[in-house]
Structure 1
Amino acid sequence: MKTYLGITFDEEKHTYDDFGLRIKSVNIGLPATKENRIEVPGADGYLDMTDYFGTRYENRTVQVECDVEDRSYENWAGKVSQISNYLHGKKRKLVLDWDSGYYYEGRGTVKVSKENRPYSTVTLEFDCDPYKYELYDSSGDWLWDPFDLDDGIIREYGNLAVIGTLDLTVIGSPMSTVPEITVSMTMTVEYEGETYDLLPGLNYLPDLEITEGEHIMTFTGNGTVSVLYRGGSL
């Protein structure tokens, strides 16, 4: 049976395998930068504060044009309902067959036109978060199949024993992220020259933001620690 590259939604439906959609074109737009400019009275130009808190982005648009063989207007009506009921207005997780180490997340819009009896044109448009997310976070098992040998990073930050001190090297992605830290006992973590108290259970520290590059988190105490981290890229 012939198959086609496509997109998997929420790990349950595939554009071709489940809907018969054959992708003709894909347009993944880059997100616009959120600019922060301040007018300075009596001065030329403006004060650009865009990078002061780190570069931030608007949402991005993912547009996919497909065709589907439906053969008749009766079949067309049923196919339109099937696709629209699942995607139109719904927020979905999108994994592209050709970029399977990441996923996009966004709300879908379905547009359909029929210009001849055998085929219809279906355009899927998604208003997505600015970054695509790594398929696996640091808590789960990673698989070879979707793993990118060139850019992929294996993160094993779960159930680590802290006996006195533990230095954990975290490799940050282009998307700045605040991780969730779960500890079994009271302890502290030092990061970028600052020390933070950790209480038993889940801890979310907004000031502890992991940016791109290699970083060291030093835990002090006795118990176990898990760092939940998911990277992202444009």
Structure 2
Amino acid sequence: MTPLGIMFDDEKHTYDDFGLRITAINIGFPSAKTSKIDIPGADGYLDMTDYFGTRYDTRKLTIECDVEDKNYYNWAGRMSQISNYLHGKRRKIVLDWDNGFYYLGRGSCEYDKDNRVYSEITLKFECDPYKYDLTATDEDWLWDPFDFEEGVIREYGNQAVDGTLALTVVGSPMPVVPKIIVSADMQVAFSGESYRLKTGENYLPDIEIKEGEHVLIFTGHGTVTVSYRGGSL
């Protein structure tokens, strides 16, 4: 059985391509960016974090591995091979055991060899705060990585509008402003407000998709695609 590993940029795997066996992994969670206002003459602070929406710093991903390189010559070559691919590079990171999501982070490599047969390698990544859904709402849905207990199917591409279309979209814990692509000028209503859509791509900052269900009501004739990629901590 092939050991579990990590895929980078859909092209390199820690075990299949580098022979790395994961011995430990630490997935850190990002610190919340708080917003506090000091009120003179009052105790404590006024916490405005929720008013502006919770935002996060970057998160750390640390992967400890060993590799059977058998001699110092192989170790030197393997060290260069891995460093050339990962060190200082920003990569898409998919964990075999959580392959419905990916992280985006910049890597660094550390090496330690205290015997001839094995060496130890630590891969560290500073990543975006959220892990992203593997597929966006306008991409083909994938069976293999889908979580049938907690997963949500989001397919909002090329929806036909012939008069009025009420499209229910499901958000994720990561808030996002979707790209709305229409084949002809239309209007869209969201949270009681109406907005004009021009043929082509539209970004409307007031339409932010958060966790839960949201209804977008399109009026016009043509097709509409609501494109965004969800994310989770």
Q: TM-score w.r.t. structure 1 length? A: 0.98
In the alignment, which residue of structure 1 is the partner of 2:221?
222
CA displacement at 1:153 relative to structure 2: 1.1
* 1:231 Cα deviation after fit: 0.7
User: What SS does the aligned partner of 1:52 have?
Assistant: helix
What's the counterpart of residue 83 of structure 2?
Answer: 84
Structure-1 separation of matches of 2:32 and 2:193: 30
Instruction: Look up the match of 1:171.
Output: 170
Map of 1:142 onto structure 2:
141
Q: Shift of residue 65 of structure 1?
A: 0.3
Quote the offset at 1:141 in angstroms: 1.1
Q: Flag as ranges the 4+ runs of structure 1 deviating above 3 A.
A: none
State the Cα distance separating 1:51 from its structure 2 match: 1.0
Deviation of the 1:230 alpha carbon? 1.0
Q: Which moved more, 1:86-95 or 1:138-147?
A: 138-147
For 1:13, give the aligned amino acid.
K
1:81 partner SS: helix
Unaligned runs of 5+ in 2: none
SS in 1 for 2:114: coil
Structure 2 counterparts to residues 1-234 of structure 1, below 5 A = 2-234=1-233
CA distance in 2, matches of 1:131, 1:151: 17
Report the number of matched residues: 233
RMSD over aligned Cα atoms: 0.7
Q: Distance in 1 between matches of 2:169 and 2:142?
A: 20
- Rounded to whole Å, the distance in 1 between the matches of 2:23 and 2:53 is 37
Q: In 1, are the aligned partners of 2:141 and 2:155 still within 8 Å (CA)? A: no
Query: 1:156 Cα deviation (Å)?
Result: 1.4
Aligned-pair CA distance for 1:163: 0.6
SS in 2 for 1:31: coil
Sequence identity percentage: 66
Amino acid at match of 1:169: T
CA distance in structure 2 between the aligned counterparts of 1:75 and 1:52, rounded to whole angstroms: 55
| Secondary structure of residue in 2 paired with 1:83 | helix
CA distance in 1, matches of 2:29, 2:120: 25
| Unaligned 5+ runs, structure 1 | none
- Give secondary structure in 2 for the equivalent of 1:107: strand
CA displacement at 1:206 relative to structure 2: 1.2
Q: Secondary structure at the match of 2:94?
A: strand
1:96-126 CA-to-partner distances (Å, cap 9, x unmatched) read 0000100000000111111111111100000
| 8 Å CA contact 2:66, 2:121 repeated in 1 | yes
> In the TM superposition, what whole-angstrom CA distance separates every residue of 1:29-49 from its partner, at most 9, and x where no partner exists?
010000111111111101111
Measure the CA separation in 2 of the matches of 1:145 and 1:46: 48
